[in-house]
Amino acid sequence: MLRANLLSDFCRAADDYVLQRERRGLRDIARRRAPAACHEAAVGVESATGTIEPDGPPGAAALARALVALDRRAVCFTDVSAAQVLERWGRFPGEIVGVPRGFASRRPGAVRTLLAGHGVGLLVAIERCGRAADGRYYSMRGLDISEHTAELDALFTDEVPGIGIGDGGNEIGIGPLLEGESVPLPRHAVSVVPCRWPVIAATSNWGAFGILAELGRHLGRPLLPTVEDARRDLETLWELGVLDPLSPDGRAVDGFGLDDQEELLARLREHESHAATH
C-alpha cells in the first residue's frame, strides 16, 4: 500500500525543513544525488559501546505508528542488546526482533528466512550503519563497532526494496552517495551498502518525520507524530539512559533539543496539511 502511494519525488517538498540545520555538509550532496522517497520494517541503531542512541528509535516508532494507522504491520529488526532496551522503552507499536551478530554469515538462507517469516515487503533502515569497504562497521568517528553490530545491512538486497535514512555517511544507503565527495567522517568508515531510496536529514529522526509529512500530505490524512508523542518518545529514552553524546546533559539528539524538534514538527505539520494535487 505504501509503495503504491509514493511519488517519484516523495520528500522533495519537505527536504528544506529536515535539512535546514544539517551540520555535516551533506545538504548539497542530498540535493544533487539523493532521490527522496520512503517504507515496512524499521531497523535500530547501536553505538560503539553497545548501547543505543536517541537518534533512530523515535523515528522508527513514528514510522511504525503511521503504518499501524494505515492498517499495516511494522517489525523492528535490531541488535539483541538494543532490542532489550527498546522492549523496556515500550514505544514501538509492533514486534521487536533481536538479531544476533553473525546471523547472515553463519546460516545459509538466513536473510530470506527472516524476511519471509515476517512478511516484509519494504525495508527502512534508520540511522543504521552499513558495512564499509573492508567489511567492518564503523561509527561516525571511525571507531570499529563490528563487535556490537548485527549485519542487518544483509537484508538490503534486490529482492525487497529498501529506504535508508541517515545523517552522516556510515549508514545504509547514505555512504554510496558520497563517492567522489568530500566526506564528514573518516573515509574508511563510509558505508558501501546501497539502497533504492536514500534519505538524508539533519538527524535521522527528522528524516522519518519528513517522510511522514509528505506521505500524509499525499494521502490527505495526518501521519506525523503529535508534539506530545514525539516529546514522550525522547523523554522516555533519556529516562532509560539512552543519551546524546553530543550534548552536555545527554538530553538532545545530535545536539538538537526538544525546542528544535517541536519547531520542525510545526513546519512539517503545515506542509502535511496541504493536500497534494495530482
Residue 217 placed within a domain: yes
Number of domains composing the chain = 1
Q: Residue 91: inside a domain, yes or no?
A: yes
Whether residue 277 lies inside any domain: the answer is: no
Q: What is the pLDDT of residue 14?
A: 42
In-domain check, residue 94: yes
User: Do the domain assignments include residue 182?
Assistant: yes
Task: Output the pLDDT for position 180.
Answer: 82
Domain assignment of residue 197, yes or no: yes
* Domain region containing 175: 3-272
Q: Which of 68, 89, 43, 74 is nearest to 204 (CA)?
A: 43
The pLDDT value given to residue 46: 46
Q: What is the DSSP string of 195-228?
A: -SEEEE-SSHHHHHHHHHHHHHHHHTS--SPPHH
pTM, two decimals, is 0.86
Question: How far is Cα 269 from Cα 49, in angstroms, rounded to an integer?
Answer: 36
Question: What CATH number is attached to the domain comprising 103?
Answer: 3.90.1640.20
d(CA 218, CA 215): 5
Q: Which helix (H) or strand (E) holds 123?
A: strand 123-126
Any domain includes 278? no
Of the candidates 28, 8, 60, the one whose C-alpha atom is nearest the C-alpha of residue 207 is 60
Can you give the pLDDT of all 278 residues of the chain as single tens digits? 333 333 444 444 444 444 445 454 444 544 444 433 333 344 444 444 456 899 999 999 999 999 999 888 999 999 999 999 999 999 999 999 999 999 999 888 999 999 999 999 889 999 999 999 999 999 999 999 999 999 999 999 888 889 999 998 999 999 998 888 888 899 999 999 999 889 988 999 999 999 999 889 888 999 999 999 999 999 999 999 999 988 999 999 999 999 999 999 999 999 999 866 55
Q: Is residue 35 part of a domain?
A: yes
**What does each C-alpha distance from 265 to 17, 62, 63 come to in angstroms?**
9, 12, 14
